[in-house]
C-alpha cells in the first residue's frame, strides 16, 4: 500500500531533533527545475506564481541558495517541514520509531519541485505548485516535466495485491497517470453534516486527509478493508454513501470555536 499526500505552501524549517534522513529520489530532476528558476528575477517569479513582491523575493533567495546534497541544519525532513491543514492532522512530530519506519515505507508526498518524497527525505524551503506553467526542458508545465516519472516510481513500489490510498488534492494527483498504475486507487472524501445537508468543507477535509494518513500509520494497516474500521475526530466510514473505490467518511459538523 502507498498513501499519497499533497505538500503545503506553509513550511517550518525550525530544526527538529530527529537525526535520521534520506535524500529525495528525484533530486537530479529537482536541480534541473531549480537551475531554471535561478534565472528568474523576483518580478518574474511574482508573475509566474501569482504571489506578492515579498513572497517573490523570498523565493528568489531560496532558489539562489538551492544546493545539493541537502544537509541537516539548512534542510529538514519533508513530513516535518510542511506546515498546513494536512500536516496538522498528520502530526509527524509525534511518530515513534516504528511509525516513522512504516511511514517511510508507505507514505509519499507529491511535489512540484521534488516530484516524489518520502517522509524522511530532506527538502529545502521552496514554493512551486504543481499547476505552475513553467517552461522547462520537457515542456510547458510541471505535469509535462514530471511525465511518467511519478507513475513509474509508484508502480515500482507496488506489489501484485497492493493498492494506492489517494489523499492528495486533484492538482497533485493529476501528476500521476492513474490509468497506468498497476494497482487500484482508493479515493476518500471527508464530509460534514449539518441541518440535513452533507458536504465537503475544504478546511476540515484537508486536515482529515492528514488524520487519515496518521491513523493508517499508527495502526500499521496493510489491508484496504481495515481502513473502514478507522474513526477519528468524529469521522466514520459511511457505506451507504460509498462505492467500491470512492469511500466517504462523514461526521456531524462541529460547532465553530469561540
Q: Which residues are bridge partners to 46 per DSSP?
A: none
Q: Are 155 and 178 in contact (CB under 8 A)?
A: no
Length of the chain: 258
To which residue does cell 498528520 refer? 90
The predicted model gives 31-45 an average pLDDT of: 96
**Residue 159, φ and ψ in degrees, nearest 5:** -100, 180
* 128 burial via Cβ count (<10 Å: 0-12, 13-18, 19+): buried
pLDDT of residue 15: 80
The CA distance from 20 to 100, in Å, is 10
Q: Which residues are bridge partners to 2 per DSSP?
A: 164
pLDDT tens-place string over residues 17-26: 799 999 999 9
pLDDT tens-place string over residues 84-110: 999 999 999 999 999 999 999 999 999
Q: What is the per-residue burial (b if ≥16 Cβ within 10 Å, else e) of 98-119?
A: ebbebbbebbbbbbbbbbbbbb
pLDDT tens-place string over residues 107-144: 999 999 999 999 999 999 999 999 999 999 999 999 99
The predicted model gives 68-76 an average pLDDT of: 93
**What are the CA-CA distances from residue 53 to residues 11, 28, 58, 109 (Å)?**
19, 29, 9, 28
pLDDT tens-place string over residues 46-55: 999 999 999 9
pLDDT of residue 255: 83
pLDDT band at 3 (very low <50, low <70, confident <90, very high): very high
Please state, rounded to an integer, the average pLDDT across all residues of the chain: 96
In this predicted structure, the answer to whether residue 10 has a pLDDT above a threshold of 80 is: yes
Helices of type H across the chain = 27-38, 42-49, 53-64, 78-81, 85-90, 97-106, 142-146, 149-157, 170-173, 202-219
Find the helix packing angle between 42-49 and 53-64, rounded to 10°: 110
137 SS3 class = coil
The predicted model gives 139-161 an average pLDDT of: 96
pLDDT band at 160 (very low <50, low <70, confident <90, very high): confident
pLDDT of residue 258: 67
The predicted model gives 164-185 an average pLDDT of: 97
pLDDT of residue 238: 97
pLDDT of residue 134: 96
pLDDT band at 7 (very low <50, low <70, confident <90, very high): very high
**What are the CA-CA distances from residue 250 to residues 5, 165, 200, 245 (Å)?**
20, 18, 9, 16
pLDDT of residue 83: 96
In this predicted structure, the answer to whether residue 152 has a pLDDT above a threshold of 90 is: yes
pLDDT of residue 176: 98
pLDDT band at 75 (very low <50, low <70, confident <90, very high): very high
Amino acid at each position: 500500500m502507498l498513501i499519497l499526500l499533497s505538500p503545503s505552501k506553509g513550511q517550518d524549517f525550525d530544526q527538529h531533533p530527529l537525526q535520521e534522513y534520506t535524500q529525495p529520489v528525484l533530486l537530479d530532476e529537482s536541480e534541473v527545475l531549480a537551475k531554471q528558476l535561478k534565472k528568474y528575477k523576483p518580478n518574474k517569479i511574482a508573475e509566474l506564481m501569482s504571489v506578492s513582491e515579498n513572497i517573490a523575493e523570498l523565493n528568489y533567495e531560496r532558489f539562489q541558495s538551492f544546493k545539493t546534497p541537502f544537509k541537516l541544519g539548512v534542510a529538514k525532513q519533508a513530513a516535518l517541514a510542511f506546515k498546513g491543514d494536512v500536516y496538522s492532522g498528520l502530526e509527524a512530530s509525534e511518530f515513534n520509531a516504528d511509525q516513522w519506519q512504516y511511514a517511510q515505507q508507505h507514505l509519499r508526498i507529491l511535489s512540484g519541485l521534488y516530484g516524489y518524497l518520502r517522509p524522511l527525505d530532506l527538502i529545502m524551503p521552496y514554493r512551486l505548485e504543481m499547476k505552475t506553467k513553467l517552461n522547462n526542458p520537457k515542456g510547458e508545465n510541471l505535469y509535462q516535466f514530471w511525465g511518467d516519472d511519478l507513475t513509474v516510481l509508484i508502480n515500482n513500489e507496488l506489489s501484485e495485491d497492493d493498492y494506492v490510498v489517494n489523499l492528495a488534492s486533484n492538482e497533485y494527483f493529476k501528476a500521476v497517470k492513474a490509468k497506468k498504475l498497476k494497482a487500484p486507487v482508493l479515493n476518500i472524501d471527508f464530509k460534514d453534516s449539518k441541518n440535513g445537508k452533507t458536504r465537503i468543507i475544504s478546511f476540515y477535509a484537508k486536515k482529515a486527509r492528514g488524520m487519515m494518513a496518521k491513523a493508517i500509520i499508527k495502526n500499521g494497516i496493510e489491508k484496504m478493508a481495515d481502513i473502514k474500521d478507522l474513526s477519528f475526530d468524529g469521522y466514520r466510514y459511511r457505506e451507504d454513501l460509498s462505492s467500491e473505490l470512492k469511500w466517504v467518511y462523514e461526521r456531524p459538523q462541529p460547532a465553530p470555536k469561540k
